[in-house]
Structure 1
């Protein structure tokens, strides 16, 4: 009997529908995507399994941590109750003491005894102090463990600021007040204070201060079973540990791991102290829990290994696909690169046939790839007139005799224009190491050739300019005898060697030397300044070369040569005509000085004649008197000898006056020697004194003691002094000063200036001074305030002083707003003695007045 077909159940229909959808979706994927999903599906399953294991562990670990936290909370609250009861017991005992004191039932001795008993019985109590309403300590007793800085002495006042706020709060509230004072430096442990107010018939009578050791309170107030299971600490409101030792913080890196438990801790404030004292407990980690389970690690390790193997398989498949894609991309990239470079590429086989050209070569020549590939020489881009030379180069190229640096050729474009190109040839080797031809690269060098020609022309112009200079120019590197550059004039003077350059550098004194300012300013390896020499200013010097018979002005500068070396450039200019002109000007100045002295003596002629008249008249009188007395026979031998001696003295005096005047006006070459300042000034004073007496002017001079000698021409300096003193006398004469106000003062003193130690000469008169417009032009040549003056005196004086490396100046002297005279001054530098043993001239001169 045939059975009837059964209808499909509803469950089968529910399962069949997603299956059909899954098959349809899977068949619609590409093979690549199917491979990817096939590799990732097992990996996803393993990762989901591992995630389930981790979630289960996490749930168990969280439940275990919650139980530990609940146990910790109960233990901490139990410990807090024990500490609270202990504080309330001590508070009650202190309140009984305060009540007895308020009822006047307790004296100081009894207070100390009861305090001692409490402190010895309860180790957390450290001190008990009785303080009256004036904050004066009536009595106090402390434990032996209390530091000396925390002891309180009876009779002393409570220190300012110490427990001041708590004392006032206890007085206002009339209730016990807890406080924690700031620990002083060096305290062994922090304290907790309890202030119980004293009430005497409704009035505040002070406080009983009890001080607890917070460490002892934790040690004896906390149950031992709690201390054994947890790290218990007491903290203040700022979370600073007051007693106990907290657990060190765990590594922050391990806290980020999901299976690492967090620190199990709980804290609660301790009443009746309040938030100022917090009890905190931290649980010790006694076991690893589920983390130490071998089953968990075994499952995790197997899951990780399975995931690693699946990932490795997937990565291997992916690398093969990537390698295939990279090969296609590399081929496309090389083709794009060959078509985008500006260098033309050409491949030849062993017979010279073109097998490959890139787009750049086609663009250069104008010929397409189809027109060039397969051709043999001559190629269409060869100019007809260069066929023979290009055939020879191609034969060298095919035979392997090509030039390493390439060679330059001319190339003809399809439109007939020519351009310059450089060809580089290299063998073409295939993948098996066999040479299949030659690869040639072509670069258009038309523009570089044009730039090179312009640079060559610019260099030629630069060389022509340097060769035509009327100065010698040479460049040489430092520390070497190589001559980098020399122009035509240098070669005419010194040849083509470095000797002339080194001679100029050495004789001009422009050698590079190390800085003396300090070690930090110089390079210890090179001995040169650390500052760049190329930024230094050029140095000038004037030298004379006997071999050339020329005076040269030498200028030097440091520069960086084209190869990076530090070099020195020396420019030498012929200044012989200028030096000859300067020497001629010096000779003219010397003649002007002689003429000025003659003019000065001409003006002083009458005074000189009057000065000579006195000794000549005395000689005549002595001779006439002796003749008369000899004729009459009335003279003795002693009287005759005395008269002859006086006659000889007067004759000697007249001769000295004539010799001094003759030496003053005598023309001679400047002769600078070590000059005695005292002798030089004395000679000038005697010469000028004649003129000053003629004008009825009094001369006063002062020379400082022990003046060192100066390097000077004595006659020229005497001329300056005589001229200045004579001008002062003439200024006084023009001002018509009374006899008491007609004086000229000469002072010679040492002075310190920026240039060093000098000797200053100053001539001060009592004339009418100089007008402002005269001061501006005082030292100009041919400028004079005298109607008969030539305007050469002061100009020559300043020239003489400056030739001695000195300075001259003039200034008016004021008495309020009135000009009462003028002062001329100049200074000369001290002589630079080579021998330090030379004794300085010591002349002491006191001020004297010459009428």
Structure 2
């Protein structure tokens, strides 16, 4: 027993239906109504589309049929015209054969030509031309113009006919000319030249000329000429005969206009030079112009418009209903979610409405409150009379606009502060039906207000106790917004002190801080956001009226009322300035002491250096005395010895002068200094100490260095100290003579994007230990047993006072320390 196969087609057909039902049931009622309203509209549009497509298809079929009929008729006419031309060609060739065989005389040629022209209207002229291009005999129809008539004995001129004559002579075949558009009154002619070739020897041609217009009228079938606009064109599509149709422009349906149905073929045996074209006349508007089409289209559009109007009306009603429901839900949600308690009273003081927030604040439910008369359940005991009086004022309409504050008792026994605002309750007819009261819990704001008051008091106490003057004044006004105790003690309670501090500190010009005579703010238009976000400006000023140095800090801020204000904080820095001045004097003394110490350390070297010129002077003087006593010296020799003695004295004097200029105490004098001269002086003095330690000194100064703003003596002190330290490091390292050298280099260098001059002193000693590098520039730190530890500290202070930088580093050859380099940088003037 076999089981029947399942009905697969029925099951497959039920699947789309089930899907459709499930999709429709998943839609909301609003979307179902929308789809139900759109279905008829879609059906009407589909019906209109089907009608338009049907008419378009019929119109396309009609056009194709017209084109096919036009093509058949044109090809038929082309065959008729071809046969007629071939017949005339045979008759002309027969005439040429008789002339080649000398069977016709000139008179007989003319007679036969006249018979042919009279018999065939398209044949307009026959001409006999010999081999020398001379006309032997000719006959033309009466319709030929005088300019186109040929004369016996005339020789063919150069042109199209002469070129055709040469082609016929070369090919010995009949040749058709390409017809051209005639100029003036001349009609366009088609030429046929048949060569005369007795025994294959060229003996001239017979020239037959056809009228293009006659070929069109007599060579084509009359039914074709009646049905179409037929024209003959040349190779350039110029009309030779016939009248073409003008382009169609449909006024009713512009998109249906355009070119007429046309078809063209070349005319054989002429070739592409003569083209036959036919254009179909428009006999009717076709199916598109029929009344049925427009009636169906109009009814479809009208039906669609009615359906759209009905759908839009239904949609507006549904939208109005949805808006009403949404508004009701929104108002209910707003009443339930608002944090302000709402209570409605009738004209007798009975509670008619309370919202959820009011119930939540008091702890009483809506059933406990609605319909109650005073005293209400949330009134605290002991305050009934006071609250009853306030209720009477409320019902009488004598409440203030800012509301009034009361205490409210919760159902559980708790208390809170509340502020009540009362307004009349007006119905839709404009009549008052009661009073609407809004209640806000202000327990927390009261607590915050108390804390703010206490915080303000603490803030005021702190500002009053500051040892700095604090003042705040708005821009463009002489009003003083805030001033602490010290400001009032220094400047009083006026704005003059504030403006004086601002003007002296250069934070803002004094004439910009006061309003003009017209009452306009001098700072009107300043961008407040960038002003209030910038850092405070610091300046140190001296106030003669107080005999104090003050450090003034200023910044802009937005005052509590929104105005742009300027806060100025002035701190008394007189003790600090005095301490700085004393420190500067001590530093100057330390610099002088350092130079004296340096000269003291170099005393033996200086003595040795002076001993050379003094010894030379003594020797020169002793030699001159002994030679003068013996009378053995000439005047020139005496003059030479005196010059050498003077030179040695000048040398000793220069050494003493440099030492005095280096060690004398003087105020810092920064001026434009020549780097090369400054380095030369330092090298001259340091060279004395380096020679004592048997250390070789080499220096390089870049050419054309710009001047720097510096104190020459102080920079020379730095260079001498660094070169002397290098020589001592080499001596302590006990380097061999080949490795005992100090190098001084002065070259241009940039630091932090600023141009300047770089100085470096490099020695070949043992370098510096890491722990020494960490404390190298600290005061009173020294690696020498007899050192005071102020040399390098003073050097760095001198460089930094010139806005320069100084640092030290060891030099390595692999892992071995081969020396140390001290370098510093001075900015250009």
- TM-score bracket, shorter-length normalisation: 0.5 to 0.7
CA distance in 2, matches of 1:795, 1:459: 50
**Match among 767, 791, 794 for residue 793 of structure 1:** 791
Q: For residue 710 of structure 2, what is the aligned residue in structure 1?
A: 712
Task: Classify the secondary structure of the residue corresponding to 1:543.
Answer: strand
Matched, 1:543 2:532: no
Q: State whether residues 340 and 359 of structure 1, in contact with CA within 8 Å, keep that contact through their aligned partners in structure 2.
A: no
1:50-83 CA-partner distances (Å, limit 9, x unpaired): 9999999999988876654543342244456679
**Match among 688, 697, 719 for residue 690 of structure 1:** 688
Q: For residue 74 of structure 1, what is the aligned residue in structure 2?
A: 65
Q: State whether residues 528 and 564 of structure 2, in contact with CA within 8 Å, keep that contact through their aligned partners in structure 1.
A: no
Matches within 5 A, 1:456-475: 456-457=453-454, 460=457
With over 3 angstroms needed to count, the CA separation of the structure-2 counterparts of 1:330 and 1:72, relative to structure 1, is closer
CA distance in 1, matches of 2:729, 2:174: 110
Task: Classify the secondary structure of the residue corresponding to 1:409.
Answer: strand
Any stretches of 5+ residues in structure 1 without a counterpart? 1-43, 90-108, 124-219, 229-243, 255-259, 271-280, 513-523, 832-851
Q: For residue 829 of structure 1, what is the aligned residue in structure 2?
A: 827
Q: For residue 196 of structure 2, what is the aligned residue in structure 1?
A: none
Q: State whether residues 542 and 551 of structure 1, in contact with CA within 8 Å, keep that contact through their aligned partners in structure 2.
A: no
Shift, 1:404, TM fit:
1.5
Q: State whether residues 543 and 554 of structure 1, in contact with CA within 8 Å, keep that contact through their aligned partners in structure 2.
A: yes
Matches within 5 A, 1:441-840: 441-457=438-454, 460=457, 526=525, 538-539=535-536, 541-546=538-543, 580-617=578-615, 654-734=652-732, 736=734, 742-765=740-763, 767=765, 778-811=776-809, 822-831=820-829
Q: For residue 134 of structure 2, what is the aligned residue in structure 1?
A: none
1:561-610 CA-partner distances (Å, limit 9, x unpaired): 66666666666655555555554444443333233222211111112223
Shift, 1:725, TM fit:
2.4
Task: Classify the secondary structure of the residue corresponding to 1:600.
Answer: helix
Matched, 1:404 2:404: no
**Match among 420, 430, 437 for residue 417 of structure 2:** 420
Shift, 1:756, TM fit:
2.9
1:590-647 CA-partner distances (Å, limit 9, x unpaired): 3332332222111111122233344555666677788889999999999999988877
With over 3 angstroms needed to count, the CA separation of the structure-2 counterparts of 1:74 and 1:498, relative to structure 1, is farther
Matches within 5 A, 1:33-182: 68-78=59-69, 120=178
With over 3 angstroms needed to count, the CA separation of the structure-2 counterparts of 1:287 and 1:503, relative to structure 1, is farther
Deviating more after overlay: 616-625 vs 293-302 = 293-302
Q: State whether residues 747 and 759 of structure 2, in contact with CA within 8 Å, keep that contact through their aligned partners in structure 1.
A: yes
With over 3 angstroms needed to count, the CA separation of the structure-2 counterparts of 1:338 and 1:618, relative to structure 1, is closer
CA distance in 2, matches of 1:70, 1:677: 105
CA distance in 1, matches of 2:46, 2:767: 113
Shift, 1:719, TM fit:
1.2
CA distance in 1, matches of 2:654, 2:492: 62
Task: Classify the secondary structure of the residue corresponding to 1:405.
Answer: coil
Q: State whether residues 57 and 290 of structure 1, in contact with CA within 8 Å, keep that contact through their aligned partners in structure 2.
A: no
CA distance in 2, matches of 1:245, 1:776: 106
Shift, 1:505, TM fit:
5.8
With over 3 angstroms needed to count, the CA separation of the structure-2 counterparts of 1:507 and 1:68, relative to structure 1, is same
Q: State whether residues 501 and 552 of structure 2, in contact with CA within 8 Å, keep that contact through their aligned partners in structure 1.
A: yes
Q: State whether residues 366 and 415 of structure 1, in contact with CA within 8 Å, keep that contact through their aligned partners in structure 2.
A: no
Matches within 5 A, 1:21-32: none
**What is the TM-score when the length of structure 1 is the normalising length?**
0.54
Task: Classify the secondary structure of the residue corresponding to 1:762.
Answer: strand
**What is the TM-score when the length of structure 2 is the normalising length?**
0.55
1:493-551 CA-partner distances (Å, limit 9, x unpaired): 56666666666666666669xxxxxxxxxxx9956599x66665x35635234255555
Greater C-alpha radius of gyration: 2
Matches within 5 A, 1:301-380: 343-347=341-345, 349=347, 353-354=349-350, 356=352, 358=354, 364=362, 366=364, 375=373
CA distance in 1, matches of 2:701, 2:45: 111
Q: State whether residues 555 and 571 of structure 1, in contact with CA within 8 Å, keep that contact through their aligned partners in structure 2.
A: yes
Q: State whether residues 473 and 565 of structure 2, in contact with CA within 8 Å, keep that contact through their aligned partners in structure 1.
A: yes
Shift, 1:789, TM fit:
3.6
CA distance in 1, matches of 2:605, 2:45: 132
Q: State whether residues 550 and 575 of structure 1, in contact with CA within 8 Å, keep that contact through their aligned partners in structure 2.
A: yes
CA distance in 1, matches of 2:175, 2:526: 87
Shift, 1:680, TM fit:
2.8
Task: Classify the secondary structure of the residue corresponding to 2:755.
Answer: strand
Task: Classify the secondary structure of the residue corresponding to 1:824.
Answer: strand
With over 3 angstroms needed to count, the CA separation of the structure-2 counterparts of 1:308 and 1:594, relative to structure 1, is closer
CA distance in 2, matches of 1:776, 1:751: 26
Q: State whether residues 357 and 369 of structure 1, in contact with CA within 8 Å, keep that contact through their aligned partners in structure 2.
A: no
Corresponding residue pairs, total? 616
Shift, 1:330, TM fit:
11
Q: State whether residues 554 and 571 of structure 1, in contact with CA within 8 Å, keep that contact through their aligned partners in structure 2.
A: yes
Matches within 5 A, 1:144-293: 289=289
1:210-242 CA-partner distances (Å, limit 9, x unpaired): xxxxxxxxxx9xx999999xxxxxxxxxxxxxx
Shift, 1:490, TM fit:
5.5
Shift, 1:476, TM fit:
6.0
CA distance in 2, matches of 1:559, 1:710: 42
1:819-843 CA-partner distances (Å, limit 9, x unpaired): 7655433332222xxxxxxxxxxxx
With over 3 angstroms needed to count, the CA separation of the structure-2 counterparts of 1:529 and 1:696, relative to structure 1, is farther
CA distance in 2, matches of 1:461, 1:339: 42
Q: State whether residues 746 and 761 of structure 1, in contact with CA within 8 Å, keep that contact through their aligned partners in structure 2.
A: yes
CA distance in 2, matches of 1:764, 1:51: 98
Taking only aligned residues, the RMSD between alpha carbons, in angstroms, comes to 6.7
Q: State whether residues 75 and 226 of structure 1, in contact with CA within 8 Å, keep that contact through their aligned partners in structure 2.
A: no
